[in-house]
Every structure is written in C-alpha cells, then in structure tokens.
Structure 1
Amino acid sequence: MTTGGGADGEALAGGMVNAGAVFRRGALVERPAPPHAPALHAHLLALKEHGFDAAPTPVGLTADGRERLTFIPGDVALPPFPHWVMTAAALESVGSLLRRLHRASVAVAVGTDTEWPRDLADPEGGTMVCHNDVCPDNVVFRDGRAAALIDFDLAAPGRPLWDVAMAARYWVPMLDPVSAAALYPAGPDVSARLRILADSYGLSPGERAELPTVIEQTTESCRAFVARRVADGDSVYLRALAERGGWKRWDRIQAWLAAHRETFTAALLDRPPG
C-alpha cells in the first residue's frame, strides 16, 4: 500500500472521500468512522467468525469520530493502474475473493434497525450485506492475487449479483474504449474478461443472463452518486468529473453498455450473439 511519512503516522494513499485522512500507526489503521460504524464493525467481526479473514478487524472507535482497524499488508493499485492489476490471474482472484465474502456474509444476520448507506446500495435491497465498492483501490494484493478487501464504508444489504456487477464495472472494466483508455491503456477484451469474472465467481446461467442489465443499473446508480456529490459542491467530485470528460463520458458509457448488452450476454452464456 502506498504510504507517506508524517507526524501523525503514515498517510495511506488512495480513495476519494477519505483522501488524506487515513493513517497507519504500526499494526493499526485510523480513519474517519462512518455514521453506522458500530453496526459495520459488528458485521466485520461476524464475517471473521464465519471464516472470512480477508478484511480488516475492527479494534474500536475514538472519541473524535475515528475508527481503528487492523492494517492489512500488501499492494493496492492506484490509477493509472499498473499492468499486474489487469492480468487474468488478478481478475480471477477478485472473483474468487468476492465469492468467499458472500459465502460468509450470507450467514450473518442483517439488523433491521441499522441505517446502512444507500449511496451505492442495491435499490432492490436484500438480506445479505454487500461490499458495493470492490474497485482496485479497495483490494489488497499479494504476489499478484487478491488477498483482502478494505473500505467497507458503502457496504449495505443487497443481491450478490449487484456486488458482482459493481466489481465488473471496475475490474473488467465495463467502460467504452475511449473511457477505458484513460485508466487501462492496454485495451482489455471486455467480453473475455467479463466471462473470467463470472467463471471465477461461479455465477449460475440465470445470473449470467441477468448480469449485463444489472451492470447497466449499477452504472446508473454510480452516476446518480456522482451527481449528488457534485450538486453538494464536493470539490473532489467536481474536479474528477471535469478531468474525466464530464457528463458526456457518462452518456457515452451508458449508451455503449446498452448497445453491447446482447454481445456481453452471449459471451457470458457461451453462445453466438443475436
């Protein structure tokens, strides 16, 4: 993980919302706590009890509104992404890790009295807590393979397929060629990589048929998330929107996804398009 020195510990680079506010102090990471931190910490501890040890372990909350979690050593890819993050082995490991998370999460009861964040949550809801933000910035790698997930701030109840679709947006990536070139210069084979993710996760035929449409839904959700941040005057998102082509980029991505829906479905189901 990329770090920088400082009087308050080592600043951990990456992310947008908490950029510059996350520090490592020895074996612990200290960062701003989300409003639902008590419920999230309980969930992370329950995941560990159900065999998922690939996430930070909560240690506690501070009086000034920060949380402490165990530090997970390894490499976290930051944009522009290095070549190793786009290998087939890396993609397969992400799918397998997400499947491991879901197998544990489905066994953890979801409290009905918790206000989970709705920013990127599945609009259909669900009885299992999903991560909702499995992007390269939130996956710790070791020896070229995904070893752990971090930053569960946007986790919320939803369908497992929603989580897979969110991951696909970043890891395939489900971006038109012009948009993808800015972060993924190699020009990935989208259909082939989407199939790798589905295979490594273990999607059923029915889930594969539904995945392209759910990816379009997650893209709409992400666009709405950005729009809310921009409307609130968030300087980080205002700058990112301007640097990445504005709303025309979002229009282009959404049009491209819709135009290639049948192609992606055919690739997932191993059949000719049309």
Structure 2
Amino acid sequence: MGEVETPLLGGTANRGLVVRVRDTVRRPLRAGSTATHAVLRYLEDVGFAGAPRFLDIDAQDREVLSYVPGETVTPPYPSWSMTDEALDSVAVLLRDYHQAVAGFPTADLTWNEPVPPPYIDGLISHNDPNLDNIVFRDGIAVALIDFDLAGPGSALWDVAAAIRLWAPLRPEDDIHDVRRGRVLSRLRRFADTYGLTEADRARLVAATADNHVWCMDYVRRGSETGHPWFHQRWTTGEAALTARTDAWFTRHSQNLQNALLS
C-alpha cells in the first residue's frame, strides 16, 4: 500500500494539491522552485527555525518539505488569531525572517512573480504572508510557509503585504470579524512591533495600496488563464471587493498615514 496522503487546507494556487505524508509536505513544482529551494536551504544553514526545510523531490515530481506542526488561520477565524498578541507575533516573525534571509545572494535565479521595481532593494521577501501561510502554536506565530511567491523585494513590501491582510486594510463593511473598527490601531501596532524605519513608515501606505494592486492583478490573471480556483475567487466577489478597496485606499490614505505618524 502507498503512503497515506492527507490534503492540507488553505491557499488558492495549489488548492487540493498540497498534502501531508507523515512528517513531510508534498507540493507541486513551479518555474521558480529551484530559487525557492535555495532560499529554504539558506534559511536552514543560518539556523532560522521559522520556515519548512526542503528535503527532496519525490517520484511524482513534487517538492518534499518538512511538515511544520501547528495551526494556520482559515475561516471561520478562531478568536485567538484576531488578538493583538497574535498580530504582534506575526510582526516579530516577519522581522526575524528578514534578518535571517538578509545575506541570501539573489543573482542568476528564476522567480515566480516579480515585485514592482520601486520595492526591490536586494532582500528576498516572502511576498505572501497571508493568514493561512503562517503557522501558530499556542496563539503565537512560529513559521512562514508557502514560499512560492518569494523573490527579490524588500522588508517594506513584506510589511505592506502582511498588514494589508492582518489589519486588514479594506472598507469597514468588508470586515466581518472582531477586527472591524480597529484597522488604524492594528496598522500602527504592526509597524511599531516590527520596528519599521521612519523612511519605510513614510512609504508604507502607498506600499499597501500598491501591494493590493499587485496581488489582485495576480488573481485576475490566474482567473483569465483558466485556473479554476482563481476564476472562482475572482468571479464570486473578489473583482468587486478589489474595486471597493482600491477606492478605499484613495479616500483614506491620509487617515492611514496619520495613524502611522501620530
């Protein structure tokens, strides 16, 4: 009998294709997998515990990663995941990752999805610190997973991506959990806990708006090229939410900036 494969929940691009086999995770290879594996090897070499280890390629041409025990945040969101303590731990984990990956050489590698040039400064950013891409134990973030979109970027770009999703930065009517009404305070708290530089704080609001455009363009292109889960996501509300959020960023950019600098 073959090994038991247990599907893992979450994600869109690889939905239904990521499985656990004992203490490993099997995932589809992509064009940028060689670069991703190099990053994971580097993180292991420098002793960073907050990422899976790249182990092998299996007989089905899937990457084999170490399984990181814990919980990820998927709907319906558990109460512990919406706390300030959980938010703080995400900021700390992201900062620790940036410190660990800072020396990684980026030359001569192919990456999956380029970051806008103004947000590239030589750091390999994760680029997708979504709620279901962070592993928690006892309510504290301990690891980043799903490095498929990792590539040359910056700390600013990663912080923008994280706070856009974790605050979250979107119209209040589109927030349906306890974070509603706390967008500004969570934005400020994340930047403070991470220890964002003054220069990056001044650019963060624009970066979050640009990150939203970048991310939603990725979803839209996936939908248009026939990816079933991206198509479902885009055509069942994401397109309308994208338009509302773009307009929201335009209307509230000064309020967001004031919250960061007050």
State the TM-score, normalizing by the size of structure 1: 0.90
Alignment of 1:240 with 2:236, yes or no, is no
Match of 1:3 in 2: none
Counterpart among 207, 219, 224 of residue 214 in structure 1: 207
3-state SS in 2 of match to 1:146: strand
1:178 deviates by 2.0
Q: Cα deviation per residue 1:74-116 (whole Å; 9 max; x = unaligned)?
A: 0111123222111000000000000000001112111x22111
Alignment of 1:190 with 2:186, yes or no, is no
**What CA distance in whole angstroms lies between the structure 2 residues aligned with 1:130 and 1:136?**
16
Match of 2:128 in 1: 133
3-state SS in 1 of match to 2:27: strand
**What CA distance in whole angstroms lies between the structure 2 residues aligned with 1:123 and 1:226?**
20
Match of 1:31 in 2: 27
1:139 deviates by 0.4
3-state SS in 2 of match to 1:260: helix
Match of 1:57 in 2: 53
Structure 1 residue ranges (4+ consecutive) displaced by more than 4 angstroms after TM superposition? none
Match of 2:251 in 1: 259
**What CA distance in whole angstroms lies between the structure 2 residues aligned with 1:105 and 1:262?**
33
**What CA distance in whole angstroms lies between the structure 1 residues aligned with 2:39 and 2:259?**
35
Counterpart among 90, 94, 99 of residue 94 in structure 1: 90
3-state SS in 1 of match to 2:175: helix
**What CA distance in whole angstroms lies between the structure 1 residues aligned with 2:226 and 2:77?**
28
The 1:101/1:122 distance shift into structure 2, 3 A limit, reads: farther
1:188 deviates by 4.2
CA contact (8 A) 1:50 1:107 kept: no
Q: Cα deviation per residue 1:118-145 (whole Å; 9 max; x = unaligned)?
A: 26x2433331111000011100000101
1:12 deviates by 1.1
1:185 deviates by 5.3
The one-letter amino acid paired with 1:123 is P
The one-letter amino acid paired with 2:117 is P
Unaligned runs of 5+ in 2: none
3-state SS in 1 of match to 2:64: strand
3-state SS in 2 of match to 1:141: strand
3-state SS in 2 of match to 1:31: strand
CA contact (8 A) 1:122 1:157 kept: no
CA contact (8 A) 1:212 1:264 kept: yes
Counterpart among 144, 154, 162 of residue 167 in structure 1: 162
The one-letter amino acid paired with 1:150 is I
CA contact (8 A) 2:122 2:153 kept: yes
Match of 2:151 in 1: 156
Alignment of 1:223 with 2:219, yes or no, is no
CA contact (8 A) 2:41 2:54 kept: yes
**What CA distance in whole angstroms lies between the structure 2 residues aligned with 1:73 and 1:188?**
32
CA contact (8 A) 2:9 2:15 kept: yes
Match of 2:64 in 1: 68
CA contact (8 A) 1:57 1:69 kept: yes
Percent of paired sites with the same residue:
37
CA contact (8 A) 2:220 2:234 kept: no
**What CA distance in whole angstroms lies between the structure 1 residues aligned with 2:40 and 2:56?**
12
**What CA distance in whole angstroms lies between the structure 2 residues aligned with 1:230 and 1:37?**
22
1:180 deviates by 2.0
1:7 deviates by 6.6
Unaligned runs of 5+ in 1: 1-5
**What CA distance in whole angstroms lies between the structure 2 residues aligned with 1:138 and 1:122?**
22
